[in-house]
Each structure stands twice: as structure tokens, then as C-alpha cells.
A and B are shown apart, each in its own frame.
Chain A
Amino acid sequence: MTGEGVAITIEGLTHGYGGPAVLRGLDLTVPSGHTTAVLGPSGCGKTTLLRAIAGFIRPQAGTIVLGETIVTSPTRSVPARARHVGYVAQEGALFPHRDVAGNIAFGLSLSGLRPRARTHAARVDELLTLVGLDLSLRHRMPHELSGGQQQRVALARALAPEPSVILLDEPFSSLDTQSRSETSAATTAALRARGVTAVLITHDPREAMSLADTIAVLDGGVVAQHGAPEEVYGRPASATVARTLGPANLLAADVRDGHADTALGCLELGPRGHAGPDRGLADLGVGGSTRHTLVVVVRPEQVLVSSSESPGSVVAQVVSSTYHGHDHLLRLRLAGGTVVDSRSSSAVRPQVGDHVHTSVDGSVPLVTTDGPAG
């Protein structure tokens, strides 16, 4: 199943629930054998996208192709049970009347060959090992498992019939911090071992960046940007994408000669993010006749604070200071009133009211924004 092919091709997907459309002509290509995270805030349509791929809903328009098979088109809709995709629900959705083995084997008894029970037992053990669960859990009932164990059983159950694609609907969101990291690591390992194509729905950018090979950021019912985690984080295609991936200072910028004049001084511009093919600088209005508000994205960890002046540094006053143990967050007011956040793990923590010198580490990406910069 691994390879350079395409596992899922989605074109022009549109769907709504009576009100304004949730998905508006969404296009997305998911490469084979990789994990793709679909990231976005609540209500951005990511669950609808997943339900459309699974075949739980029939979208109003658009086509979905799994491998070579058209499963959704204006004239055709393959039912969920015939799509051969795996599905892991938010809270596992284990069948409460079956034990762990019974859950994992649920989809096995349907494959035409009717394999014998002993073959099933072997498969169950193999899958339990794959998801990192102890074989002694085989005959536990779902309510006797922890939340993380339930999610792993749900994953094993979904992998059992060897689907080419597996869909994960916020599978870790209901787990506590500790079991979340363990369960997500076990999940990634199992998916990698099988080389399965996975689509992971999440609203947690850290989860998306640490688990996925590529991230598709949803905004306004379309994919705003799709690329490797480093790409969407470091070179966001828009201010919304930048904010979706993590805390960001958005500063109004005057652009000239590969540099931007901002409240934090003159900053070096980094390479540009791409929403899709053929979207160059001209799209942002630079050099064109249309004027958008141009802003640069400065991550809080790029804003360095020092007590002494250095070339190009800017004076700021500390408005608030929050301690987080491994680092601290400073809110700074710059000359002219602009407020920026700075995250630092330095041992020295300035006090509220202190005057400090700020500079920016590295280059910053330029994006457009609909709202005012600040």
C-alpha cells in the first residue's frame, strides 16, 4: 500500500446542513501511505469532510475517488459498508456487548472466505501487538478498559480487515494529557508499520504537527494550505493559517527589497507560503494594483528580549509576565502602542513595567489578512 500514488482525490466537495454551506468546493489530494492531518477550528467542516469520505453522508456536490474507484460523484454513491475504509470514532465506539477480541474480529467474519476461529484468534493477537496492547486484555469488556486502551482497540478493529485508508475522527481529544501522548505514539507506530494511508481529523496543531506527514488546514470550507508541518508552520499562506498552527504576532508591514518595516524594526522576509500552484507574490498585491493589508507573522519564540541594546533592536515595556515553568510569556508594548508576545526560556524574567530591548530571530513570512494588522 505504500508508494508514491494517490490514495484519496477530492474535487469540488460542497455540503451544508440547511444554513450556509460547511464545505465550499473543497479540493484535497491525499498521498498513499502517509498520515495527513486535517486541521481547523470547531465548525470548519473537518468532521463533515471525514463523514463524506467514509460514506456516512452524501455531499451535495463534488467527487471523491479512493485509489482508482469513484465512490462519490453526482451520479454515484458507494455505501459506507462497501468502501473498505477504516474508521476510528472520537470515543472509540467499541461494541459494548463484545469483548476486545470480539470487537477486533467484528469485521473479519465478513470476508468471503469465512476463516476459522483459530485464524481469527491469531489475527486478533497480531493486531493487539501491533497497537501495543497486552495480549491479556483479549477478553476484557470495553467498560473495563481505560480511554486510551479503548482507542487502541478501536484502531485494531479498524485495521483488521486491512483497509487501504483509515479515518481518525479526533481520536485523542477525550484522553488526558498523559494517555494522549502514549496513545498517539502507539497509533502512529501502528499506522507506519502497516503503511496505511491515514486521515487524522484534529483541532490541536501540536498533535497535527507531531503525528502527520502533511497538514491540510481548513478555512471557510476549503483547504487554505496543504503541506509538510514545517512548511505550513514556517511559511503560512494566510494569517488564518498562521494563527491555526499556533500563537502568532501579526504586524503590519511595509515591504521593500526583501525586507519589511514593522513595529519590531526592519525584518528579513522568509520564503513565501503557497496556498496552491501558481500563487506568487503578485497574488498578495505586491507590485500589483490591488492593495491588501500586508502583515508579517512573528512567532512569540522569535521575539528576543534583552536588557542591553543591540543593532536594530527596539525598546518595549513589559505589560504582563506569565510563568509556565519551562518558559515564560511576556506581553510587550512597543512604541506606537503595538502589543506583541514573546516566549522565552531564559532564566532571567523581566518584571512588569521594565523597559527592555527586543529583536527578532530569523526571517518572517509575509501574508495577507482580511482584518486589521496588530
Chain B
Amino acid sequence: MAGVTGTRPAPRLRAGRVSVPPVVGVAAALVALLTLVPLAVIAYDTVGAGWSEVSRLVFRDRTLELLANTGKLVVGSVSLCVLLGVGAAYLVWRTDLPFRRLVHVAMVAPLAVPAFVNAYAWSSLVPSADGYSGALVVVTLSYFPLVYLPVTAALRGADPALVESAAALGLSASATFRRVTLPQLRPAVLGGGLLVALHLVAEFGALALIRFPTLSTAVYDQFRSSFSGPAANTVASVLVLVCLLLLTGELTLRGRTAYARVGGGAARASVRIPLGRWTLPAAAGLLLLTLAAVVLPVVSVMRWFVAGSSSAVDLPVLLSTTASTLGLGVLAALTVTVAALPVAWLTVRRRGVLSTLVERITYIGTGLPGIVVALALVTLALHALPALYQTTTMLVAAYAILFLPRAIVSIRAGLLQLSPSLEDAAATLGVGPIGVLVRVVIPVIAPALGSGAALAFLGASTELTATLLLSPLGTQTLATQFWSYSSAIDYGAAAPYAALLILVSAPAAVLLTRYDGQVAS
């Protein structure tokens, strides 16, 4: 409750009292098992192919080249993202830069442009933007906010007294940054950097458009040529290994940084450093970044939109595509929310080894590329469940695995605000368990349920990779329709879809910033 701060620790008898109904535990375990399916299928298939076949496929020049490309892109782009993210956050939150609020919005805005739309915008405007350098520019501009957001949170949460003490001890501004501020930012920088790396390893659409082959695009190419042969699955398993490695790093870090996040509230504003003659260069740099990351893609899409309208937009196709996108989005939102609720409930109300395990397993979805989830489900359908192949059920299952972590984070935050003493108070007023659920729990966490559902809806509406592989015959979404036009270099026809994709992504960007960019896949 606002305005009330406990002066004494809460009674320590609360644990053990709150019982979680067994049905919640069972449901949470089933959800965790569902998210394990892709990993299990890939592992089973790789083992089934036999060691000699696997080693032949893995240790050939092509795979090693793809691995090298992926590594090159990760190292290059993560470095640039950290440089841009930390630099921008420091300028916005610690200096007297003009128009700071506006700059802050501009630094988050790139999240509203899906990376593959950004790639289309750049390559249609600058045809020479391809290969490594083109890929580096496009993905960096798309993903640097993932570093900017956690660094912003860390800077705002940090105690200004530390910087003041350093100044009192005689340190210069630059020495203070190096010896006091930077060490405090380390967890945020590492966490944001790992998140960027996970996105880069999983990125398919942008890199395919820019024609820079990585493990992710190779899985798609292999799938196209040999369907779900061992070749595609082997490359996928290398991809999974890379992702799991990054995910382990991210999870370890998350566990350790929890304490470093000072709870929000009214932290004293820190003294801002005057930029002086550096004001102009700093402002110009941020303006350039905004132009490249936000203005250019939007202008490019609009230009093609205007140019393409002469060649008449196929309105019925646009409408039917929008309708099927909305339908799939709603289905995904409902499924994800229903699946996330028991997991969130279990992890909030019953801390323990098992509930932590369930939560960690469902978090794997953040680290699994859409292409891997899709390939695994195709493989599973072909071998075991042919009736489900190319059905809406399977596509929604893929969405559920991919977007579950977003909904869990959101619903967890809501449940954490629901103090058990609210349920006690309701009971003494004569309300039974069902009444408590209907009159207290659901109304209190309704906003959290809503934003969890919205995140899943928006994620599914702009998802490209899994949709390409799993959508039922004849079903097109905004993303897949955009993809078929833009990969055929029909930029004008792709423009309306690009504009709609940006419109759908924008609210997701706003919602994601609320959770400090913890989960933004």
C-alpha cells in the first residue's frame, strides 16, 4: 500500500500456511513439460541420427562457417549495443542533456519496429546494405534498446550518495564513472548484452533479407531443401547448444543481480553533470542514432507505401490477412494466459526447488529461436502426430512456448502485489474460497492478466519464423504476407504490411518497457 512502510519485518510464520491446490501444481508441471517438447525432439532426433552422421554434418566446413558468422555477428553487435545503450542511458539519466524525456522515448522506440521490417526498410533504401556490415548495422539498431533499458533501470535505482561520496573524496567526473558508476552497471550491461546475444542467435527474418547466413537462417534453408531431415535438425541442435549456453549465463546473472536492483520509489535525483561544450556533439550523436533506428525505417515504409499505392493494394488479401492475424493473436493470448497463470501462482505462493524448476523450464522459451521450436514441432507431427501437422493447434502451441515467459513475468508481478492478508481479511468478512477468487484475486490481478495476454497477442501477431513453418495451408498472417512480398523484392506491395506490423508492435514496446526489459524476446 502506498504511503505505508513496514517498520518491522513481516511475521515469519506466513510460509507453509498458504496451500496451493494440487490441480495448480499439476497444471504448472504440464505447462513446463510442453515447453520441454522442442528440446526433447531435437535431442532425440540428433541422437537417433547416430554419432558418425552428426559429426559429419557438424564438422563440415559449411556448419563451421555458419557458426563463425553467428559468432562474428554476436561479438560485433553486442559490443556496439553495449556502447550505444550505456552511452545513451548515461547521457539521458546523468547529464544535463537537453530534451531528455524525448530522447528517452526515442531510445526505446526502435523496439516498435520488428527487426525484419527494419531490414526491409534499410535494404530497400540502401541496396548495398548487405553482408556482414549491413547485418551489423540493422540488428544493432533494432536491439540496442535491450541494453539501454536495464542500464536505465540500474542508473535510476542507484543511490546518488555513492556518486556524491566519490566527489567528496576528490574523484573527477570521468574517474567517478570508471570507478563507481561502471561497476554498478556491470550486471545490467551483462544481462542486456546476453539478451541481445539471444535475440541475434535466434534472428532469422532480418538476416535472411540482408543475405547474411547464420545458423538460424541455415536451419530454414535446410528445412526448405530437405524438409525435416537430419541435416536441418543437426544444425538446429548446434543452434540450441549456443542458445542454452547463453541462457545459462543469463539465468545465473539474473539470480545474482536480484539484490542489486534497488526497489523503485522516490529515489533522490542525482546531480547531473554539465556537458558544456560536449552538449552539441552528444545531442547530434543521439539525433543521428534516432534518425537511423526510428525515422529511417518509418520514412522508408511510408515512401514505399505511397509509391506502391499506384500499383493498387490488394485490399481483400490485406483484410483477410489482418483478420487471420487477429484471430491467431487472440487464440495465442488466451492459451498463453491460461498456461501462465498456474505457473505464476505456483512460483509466487510456494517457493521451493520444484517451483523454481518449473519456472526455469518455462523460461527456456526466451532462449529458443522460433525456427527451432517450429522445426521440432514439425518433426514431432511428422513422426508421431500427423493429424496435427499444419493445424492451428500446432501453431498456437508454438506461440505458447515462445511467449509464455512474457506472460509469466507480467502475471507474477500482479500476484506479488496480492498480499495473503487480503485473503485473510475477506475470509473474516464471511467470504468462501470461490468468493475470494472472484471478488478479490481476479479483480486485483486483472491488469496483470491483461498485460500478459496483450504481450502474447502482440508477440504472436508479429511472429515470422514459426508462422512460416507451421501455419495451416492457405493461412497468411501480416508477417508471412510481408515476408513473401519483400523476399520477392516487391517493396511496394510489402509496405502496407510493414506499416501494420509497426502499428501492432508499438503497444508491445510500451508494455515491455514496464518490466525493465527483463523479457523481451
- State how many angstroms separate the Cβ of A267 from the closest Cβ of chain B: 37
Using a Cβ–Cβ cut-off of 8 Å, how many residues does chain A contribute to the interface with B? Answer: 50
Identify the closest chain A residue to B424 (Cβ): A56
Tell me the complex Cα distance, A150–B425, Å. 14
Give the residues in chain A near B1, CB-CB below 8 Å: 91-92, 94, 96, 142-143, 147, 150
User: Could you say which residues of chain A place their CB within 8 Å of the CB of B427?
Assistant: 55-56, 79-81
Tell me, yes or no, whether A57 is within 8 Å of chain B by CB.
Answer: yes
Kindly identify, within residues 72 to 92 of chain A, every residue whose CB is under 8 Å from any CB belonging to chain B. 79-87, 89-92
Distance between A211 CB and nearest chain B CB, rounded to angstroms = 18
Contact with A along B421-457 (1 / 0, CB 8 A): 1101111111110000001100110100000000000
Which residue among A48, A56, A84, A154 has the maximum number of chain B CB atoms within 10 Å of its CB?
A56
Instruction: Please name the residue on chain A nearest to B13 by beta carbon.
Output: A17
Q: Is A161 an interface residue (CB 8 A)?
A: yes
Closest partner residue, chain A, to B418 (CB atom) = A96
A81 touches B431 (CB 8 A): yes
Q: Is A34 an interface residue (CB 8 A)?
A: no
Q: Which residues of A contact B281 (CB under 8 A)?
A: none
Measured CA separation A218–B432 after assembly (Å) = 32
Cβ of A118 under 8 Å from chain B? no
Complex: A111 Cα to B431 Cα, angstroms: 11
Set B7, B428, B444: member contacting A95, Cβ < 8 A: B444
Evaluate contact between B428 and A174: CB separation under 8 angstroms: no
A86 to B430, CA, bound (A): 10
**Other CB < 8 Å A-B pairs besides A17-B16, A56-B427, A90-B421, 11 of them?**
A47-B11, A57-B17, A84-B430, A85-B428, A94-B1, A95-B444, A96-B1, A106-B431, A145-B3, A158-B425, A174-B8
Q: Are B428 and A81 in contact (CB under 8 A)?
A: yes
Please report which residues of chain A, range 41-79, place their CB below 8 angstroms from some CB of chain B when the two chains form the complex.
42, 47-48, 51, 54-57, 79
Tell me, yes or no, whether A97 is within 8 Å of chain B by CB.
Answer: yes
Contact code string A113-151 (vs B, CB < 8 Å = 1, else 0): 000000000000000000000000000001101110010
Query: Is A97 touching B429 in the complex (CB atoms < 8 A)?
Result: no
Nearest-neighbour CB distance to chain A for B278, whole angstroms, equals: 42
Question: Which residues of the partner chain A approach B432 to less than 8 Å between Cβ atoms?
Answer: 81
CA distance A77 to B2 in the complex (A): 36
Q: Can you list 11 A-B contacts with CB-CB less than 8 angstroms, sorted by A residue number? A: A56-B424, A82-B430, A89-B425, A90-B10, A107-B429, A150-B3, A157-B429, A160-B429, A163-B428, A170-B8, A173-B6
A97 with B430, Cβ < 8 A, contacts A47-B13, A142-B1, A145-B3 known: no
| A352 interface contact, C-beta 8 A | no
Given A47-B13, A142-B1; A93-B429 close (CB under 8 Å): no
Given A57-B17, A87-B425: A174 touches B430 (CB 8 Å cut-off): no
Instruction: Give the docked Cα–Cα distance between A51 and B13 (Å).
Output: 10
**In the complex, what distance in Å separates the CA atom of A299 from the CA atom of B6?**
31
Closest residue to A85 on the B side, CB-wise?
A: B428
- Indicate if B417 sits at the interface (CB-CB under 8 A): yes
Q: List the A residue with the shortest CB-CB distance to B8.
A: A173
Contacts of B430 in A (CB 8 A): 81-82, 84, 107, 110-111, 161
Q: Which of B2, B430, B446 has the most CB of A within 10 A?
A: B430
Closest Cβ neighbor of A94 among chain B residues:
B1
Tell me if B's interface is mostly helix, strand, loop or mixed.
loop
- A161 / chain B contacts, CB cutoff of 8 Å: 429-430
B residues in contact with A147, CB < 8 Å: 1, 3-4
- Please give, as numbers and ranges, the residues of chain B lying within 8 Å of A91 by CB-CB distance: 1, 4, 6, 419, 421
- Note all chain B residues with C-beta closer than 8 A to A110: 429-431
A81-B432, A84-B430 are contacts. A48–B13 as well, Cβ < 8 Å?
yes
Q: Give B1-50 interface residues, CB cut-off 8 Å to A.
A: 1-8, 10-11, 13, 16-17
Q: Which residues of chain B are within 8 angstroms of A97 by Cβ–Cβ distance?
A: 443-444, 446
CB of B429 within 8 A of CB of A56, answer no
Chain A min CB distance to B485 (Å): 46
Least Cβ–Cβ distance between A233 and chain B, in angstroms: 24
Q: A57-B17, A143-B1 are in contact. Are A95 and B440 (CB under 8 A)?
A: yes
Q: Give me the 8 closest cross-chain CB pairs, A-B, nearest first.
A: A107-B429, A87-B428, A80-B427, A93-B421, A143-B2, A89-B421, A147-B4, A97-B443
A304 to B427, CA, bound (A): 53
| B424 and A92 contact, CB distance less than 8 A | no
Closest chain A residue, CB of each to CB of B431:
A81
Tell me the nearest residue of chain A to B440, going by C-beta. Answer: A95
Contact: B6 with A89, CB < 8 Å? no
Most buried by A among B6, B7, B11: B11
Name B425's closest neighbour in chain A (CB-CB): A93
B409: min CB distance to chain A, Å: 20
CB contacts (< 8 Å) of B11 on chain A: these are 47
* Chain A residues closer than 8 Å to B4, beta-carbon distance: 91-92, 147, 150, 174-175
Complex: chain B residue closest to A17, CB-CB? B13
Alpha-carbon distance between A140 and B427 when the two chains are bound, in angstroms: 24
Q: How far is the CA of A97 from the CA of B446 in the complex (A)?
A: 10
Q: Map CB proximity to B onto A161-179 as digits: 1 under 8 Å, 0 otherwise.
A: 1010001001001110000
B17: chain A residues within 8 A (beta carbon):
56-57
Q: How far is the CA of A147 from the CA of B430 in the complex (A)?
A: 25
By a CB distance below 8 angstroms, the chain A residues around B431 are 81, 106-107, 110
